Every structure is written in C-alpha cells, then in structure tokens.
Structure 1
Amino acid sequence: MPQAEVFSPKGEKVGEIGLSEALFGREPNKGLIRAAVLAHLNASRVGTAKAKTRSEVRGGGRKPWRQKGLGRARAGTITSPIWRHGGVAFGPHPRDYSWDLPKKVRRLALKSALSAKAKNGQITVLTGLTMAAPKTKDLYAFLKKMGVHESVLIVTGDNEPNVVLSARNIPGARVTTARELSTYETMLKKHILITEDAVRKLEEALT
C-alpha cells in the first residue's frame, strides 16, 4: 500500500497515511496519461482561425482586362490566390479541435497520474486547509515551509474561495477540488498537496 506523509495546516508533520492501492498504487500507464493530456489541450484550443477564399474576398466581379491583345497573362478576377490581396487557396477555417475520451479511459488516466505522483513521493496529505480570509502572504509562507512553493497543485474536498484567492497571485500554485481534478492538472505541477477530505472523495468517486 502506498504511503504519504501527513501534515497539519501549520506545516507540521503529524504522521503517515496509507493510500488506496486502486487509486494511488497502480502501474502508471503513460499512453493513457498522454491521451488525457492531449485531449485536455485540444479542448482548450479556440479554433477560430479564418482566412478568406477567392469567393469570400471583396471585389473581383469583373474581368481585370480583356483576354487577348495586351501581352499580359490572362486574368479573370482580382481575387485569385496568385494575386496580391487575393483569396487564400488552402487557408485555415474555424474548426473544433476537441475529441472525447471514454469515461473509463479518463478515470484510468487520472488513476495512473496519481499513482505516478505517489510513486515519486510527490503527494503530501493535509489534515485540512481553510483560511479565514484571502491572504497570499500567509499561503505562500505555508507553501515555502513545505518546500513546494515553486510548483504545487492544491486539492481540496470542497471549494475553498479564500484558498483560491490566496493562491491566485502565486505563480507556481494552482487550486482545484477533488471533483474537478484532471489528469492534465495532476501532471502539470511537480507536487500535490491534497486534504484528507479530498482523498476520501476521490476514493469514493474512482474506486
């Protein structure tokens, strides 16, 4: 059974906890992790690039000059792709880059990502993490004391607005909930700080 260190909200170690074998002790499947990360990145693409074709460019209704007798190359419209300011032959058009992964694959990918982090000792469990008011300075001091301030994902059981606001101005920190945790976010940051409540909710949802 994989083990993780448990710390208090003050950054003091209080013990260790055994993590679920099914969730944190699997052999990481790099192929699934890669597929889930690519699916996330593709879904984030805007896909609004657009270039006008020869039929969409303004003008071009009349023939620029007569067909014969001038010694020039024949031309039928000023919107031709070979003309300056003409249309684009094979330009981009708006498209949807997203592609869906089966629910089972998404879950297996997340389990693989969490297992990879646990295997590398990059998961730390917190007994809790709440803040009475948004305070970036306090949260940064806590993360620095834990030694994870440069790259960390904080996973809470429920939405913690004050924690989210406190982390918003810390470049290396990101906050999410157990319900919204994705493979992409899991792999994006080096360390994961996860509350005991979030661990329970992940185990209920994924095992």
Structure 2
Amino acid sequence: MELTITGSGNTLSVSDAVFGREFSEDLVHQVVVAYQAAARAGTKAQKSRAEVNGTTKKSKRQKGGGARHGALTAPIFVGGGRAFAAKPRSFVQKVNRKMYRAAISAILSELNRQGRLKVVESFDVDAPKTKGLVAKLAGFEVGQRPLIVTENASENLFLAARNLPYVQVRDVQGLDPVSLVCADSVLITAEAVKKIEEWLA
C-alpha cells in the first residue's frame, strides 16, 4: 500500500501487514493494559496484626466488661493491624513478542484508516525553543494531543516539547502502545516508517 507524504506529492510504499492490518480491539486492549500494569511499582505494604507494634496480652477480663476482646492489635482497634494486609507484589502481565508487535501494527493501521497518521519527510527544530515547535506544528492538522515519531529524536526536539503538556516525542525505539492510543494524531517521518517496518515485519 501507499502512504502519502504530507507537504509533497510523493508517496511511500509500505507493507500491508504493518499499515493495513485488521484492527483487533481485544488484542490492543490486552496489550495496553499489560503495558500500564508493568509500570506499576507494586510496593504498597501494610502490617497485619502479627506485625504491628503492641502487646498481644488480653486487654481486659473475659466476662463483666461488655464485649469480649483479646489483644488490642486486632483489626477492629485504632492502631491495630489490617485484616488482609497488602504486601509488595508484581503487576506484570505476560504478553509475548508476537502479540505486542501485532497490537502495534493494528493501532498504526487503524490510525492510517482514520486519517490520523501523517507522514512527513523529516521533522526537527533548529533550537530547543517551545515557540518554534508550536509554530511548526501549526502547519499540520494534528489536534490537541499530537505524537511526534522520528527515527532518532534530537535533543532539541525533546527539549522544545517538554513544556507542552499534551505533545509527546518518541523515537522508534521508544514507541509504545499507550502513547499511540492516546494521541489525536501521529506525525511520523518517512525514515521512522521504514524502521518501524523493519521492526514489525
């Protein structure tokens, strides 16, 4: 299939397997959830009644004092342990390489079908100035949350986009499903398209 390069009359031949793949909502959802889950620290920790600092001596006599209670470290008391204490754990969900690459291809294909994938010859800024990047983006219809993908994103481009909260910059190595799904449109260079094809082929 052919992708039109914005700003010129040229076209770029790309693989149907990468940019013309059928969209699978279940697959994309699974990969996106797994990607977000893997970013969780999983360091939450609480103390059970056996771990809180306090005596385990019976707090009062068994009869004649109202409710019958044992140690004050029980969960019903302030300062007591948690009944089902949370412990550090991993939230990682297994997603094999084939599924991950298929999901990326499905997202790119759907972006292309919806007209939200814009290919340009090159994209960079001369200086790390936010004003310059805003002016350059104004020439493209990229919406409020654009994603800029280049073959090797320059430091100037990263620094220029740093103060724009909804503009993301990625190189091909840093491309991920969440940034693709959340973007209003994806502005991608022709060289990055070739590298993505090599990666996903």
Normalising TM by the smaller chain, what interval? Answer: over 0.9
Distance 2:125 2:9 in 1: 20
| Aligned match of 1:72 | 66
Which of 114, 119, 123 matches 1:120?
114
Q: Which moved more, 1:103-112 or 1:92-101?
A: 92-101
| Aligned match of 1:25 | 20
Kindly tell me: are residues 49 and 97 of structure 1, through their superposed partners in 2, closer, same or farther at Cα, counting changes over 3 Å?
Answer: same
Secondary structure of 1:145's counterpart equals coil
Q: Is the 8 A contact 1:42 1:97 kept in 2?
A: yes
Residues 32-43 of structure 1: matches in 2 within 5 Å?
32-43=27-38
Distance 2:143 2:9 in 1: 20
Secondary structure of 1:155's counterpart equals strand
Could you say what the CA RMSD is over the residues aligned between the two structures, in angstroms?
A: 1.6
> Identity of counterpart residues, as a percentage?
36
| Aligned match of 2:173 | 179
> 1:76, CA displacement in angstroms?
2.1
Runs of at least 5 residues in structure 2 that lack an aligned partner in the other structure: none
Residues 121-200 of structure 1: matches in 2 within 5 Å?
121-200=115-194
| Aligned match of 2:3 | 4
Distance 2:198 2:76 in 1: 62
Distance 1:110 1:28 in 2: 10
What are the Cα deviations for residues 134-169 of structure 1, in whole angstroms up to 9, with x where unaligned? Answer: 011011111122121511111110131111111111
Runs of at least 5 residues in structure 1 that lack an aligned partner in the other structure: none
TM-score by length of 1: 0.90
Q: Is the 8 A contact 2:120 2:187 kept in 1?
A: yes
Secondary structure of 1:154's counterpart equals strand
Distance 1:100 1:156 in 2: 28
Secondary structure of 1:179's counterpart equals helix
Q: Is the 8 A contact 1:129 1:195 kept in 2?
A: yes
What are the Cα deviations for residues 10-53 of structure 1, in whole angstroms up to 9, with x where unaligned? Answer: xx444443432111011111111111100111112222222211
Which of 182, 197, 201 matches 2:195?
201
Paired residue total: 201
